[in-house]
């Protein structure tokens, strides 16, 4: 710690608290000098270090949201990046399954929720099933930072849905964030969200119509209890109330890369338009009254009038273009935790080992997004809505049950190698059969039922098939693993 000087001692004598604060701050400044990134030298002059809580960092979310949406609409790189993330996180859907003590009750409950969730009856506007709603929600979270689902109660007389509720998808603009501060109830409201004294969300303030719809003018807003709202966003810091687009770190990079690619394309188009030039070789030759036919045909010979010469254009080469674009796309892919091949579609030089290593890193990031963001923030709250609906559905069994969610399976790089490895893990006791089935994106209960049905149908027809997997003995799987 820095020793106190004369001024420190003098201040400490007359104002001990001020002196203590002075010494504490001096110690902090002394500690910062041990880190180059915390210093104030030339290398650190460009560092941005604004203060503020998690919500101060996302208050520019609206501007970023608009820029991100425009980029996804008009920029091929951004569009592919978002599509790659959505395809891997959601795919064909994160599927719910029921687990109950009785097989009969389990099948009945599954039939009821499937009749609702697997059809457009679950959508308040009747366009998508649950899995389409999931895709749209995750895409909205990635592009715009956040998405809202609102529960819309439905009654038996509506004869629209199998379960008495529907899901309405709302963009974040529906949040009325004009109100700020403490309410008469003692709760506080920030960013269109109402919190109680324990910082729990108790309500959302939503516009009745989209506030930026030119046909609605200035819609009123209303208070909706939190039990009827699902708010999906990626929480990156403690206390963060709203979401930010996942493209925020790479928006400048994507924009510059696309502008560079477009500039090179225009340059080549302009250069290719100039096929040849004619020029005078004699200063005194006049073009007056001469009609030149400048049409070019394959293998032609053309006699030019005296004093004329032809010089063919030599379009400029685009040196380093491919290497530069590859490097930029690798940076974008790395920032979004996807593979370069997934972003660019470029499979040049890819073999089994490199593809598998890249996919494994991407799968970790995708699995993290599924199990730490989408499933707890979107799927688990939906369970409450389904339970409430089943409780008032007359023909639904009134039994205890639980939900299991199965994300889409990860595509195999080489099934001939990976399937035997999975079987070896099961036989070696390193994992369970049902866990491995879920990792492949299937519901174990459904697989078991289908296998039993297949077996019964085969026995009834008097036929048999070799359905038992071959055992893996002595580490051999019949494949030559020496090459790639």
- pLDDT at residue 200 above 80? yes
pLDDT tier at 436 (50, 70, 90 boundaries)?
confident
Integer angstrom CA distances of residue 116 from 60, 135, 180, 268: 38, 17, 39, 55
Where is pLDDT greater, at 395 or 170?
A: 170
Average pLDDT rounded to a whole number, residues 414-425: 82
Average pLDDT rounded to a whole number, residues 142-160: 84
- pLDDT at residue 32 above 50? yes
Q: Is the dihedral of CA 202, 208, 209, 211 positive or negative?
A: negative
- Other Cβ atoms within 10 Å of 445 Cβ, number: 18
Flag the least confident range among 95-104, 185-194, 438-447: 438-447
pLDDT tier at 470 (50, 70, 90 boundaries)?
very low
Q: Which pLDDT belongs to residue 5?
A: 76
pLDDT tier at 468 (50, 70, 90 boundaries)?
very low
* Distant-in-sequence, close-in-space partners of 478: CB < 8 Å, separation ≥ 6: 420
Average pLDDT rounded to a whole number, residues 151-176: 85
The answer, as to whether pTM is greater than 0.85, is no
Integer angstrom CA distances of residue 159 from 121, 162, 164: 10, 8, 9
Flag the least confident range among 67-76, 152-161, 418-427, 435-444: 152-161
Q: Which pLDDT belongs to residue 473?
A: 43
């Amino acid at each position: 710690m820095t020793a106190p000087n004369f001024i420190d001692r003098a201040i400490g004598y007359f104002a001990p608290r001020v002196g203590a604060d002075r010494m504490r701050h001096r110690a902090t400044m002394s500690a910062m000098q041990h880190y180059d990134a915390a210093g104030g030298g030339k290398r650190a002059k460009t560092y941005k270090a604004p203060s503020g809580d998690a919500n101060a960092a996302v208050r520019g979310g609206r501007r970023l949201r608009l820029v991100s949406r425009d980029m996804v609409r008009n920029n091929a790189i951004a569009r592919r990046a978002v599509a790659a993330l959505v395809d891997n996180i959601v795919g064909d859907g994160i599927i719910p399954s029921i687990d109950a003590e009785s097989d009969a009750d389990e099948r009945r409950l599954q039939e009821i929720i499937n009749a609702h969730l697997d059809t457009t009856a679950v959508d308040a506007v009747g366009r998508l099933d649950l899995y389409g709603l999931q895709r749209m929600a995750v895409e909205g979270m990635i592009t715009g930072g956040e998405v809202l689902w609102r529960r819309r109660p439905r009654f038996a007389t509506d004869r629209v849905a199998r379960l008495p509720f529907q899901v309405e998808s709302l963009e974040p603009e529906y949040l009325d964030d004009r109100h700020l501060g403490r309410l008469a109830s003692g709760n506080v409201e920030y960013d269109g969200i109402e919190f109680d004294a324990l910082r729990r969300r108790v309500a959302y303030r939503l516009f009745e119509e989209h506030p930026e719809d030119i046909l609605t003018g200035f819609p009123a807003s209303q208070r909706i209890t939190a039990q009827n709202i699902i708010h999906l966003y990626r929480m990156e810091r403690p206390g963060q109330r709203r979401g930010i687009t996942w493209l925020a770190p790479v928006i400048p990079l994507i924009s510059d890369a696309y502008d560079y690619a477009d500039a090179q394309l225009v340059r080549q188009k302009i250069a290719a338009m100039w096929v040849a030039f004619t020029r005078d070789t004699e200063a005194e030759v006049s073009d007056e009254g001469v009609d030149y036919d400048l049409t070019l045909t394959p293998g032609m010979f053309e006699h030019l009038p005296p004093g004329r010469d032809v010089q063919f254009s030599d379009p400029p080469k685009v040196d380093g273009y491919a290497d530069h674009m590859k490097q930029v796309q690798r940076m974008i892919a790395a920032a979004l935790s996807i593979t370069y091949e997934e972003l660019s579609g470029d499979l040049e030089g890819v073999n089994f080992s490199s593809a598998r290593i890249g996919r494994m890193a991407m799968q970790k990031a995708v699995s993290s997004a599924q199990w730490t963001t989408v499933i707890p923030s979107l799927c688990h709250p939906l369970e409450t809505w389904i339970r409430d609906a089943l409780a008032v559905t007359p023909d639904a069994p009134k039994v205890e049950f639980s939900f299991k969610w199965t994300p889409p399976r990860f595509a195999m790089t080489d099934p001939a190698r990976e399937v035997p490895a999975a079987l070896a893990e099961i036989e070696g006791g390193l994992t369970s059969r049902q866990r491995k089935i879920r990792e492949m994106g299937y519901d174990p209960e459904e697989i078991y039922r289908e296998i039993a049905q297949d077996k019964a149908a085969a026995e009834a027809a008097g036929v048999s098939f070799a359905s038992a997997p071959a055992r893996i003995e002595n580490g051999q799987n019949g494949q030559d693993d020496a090459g790639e």
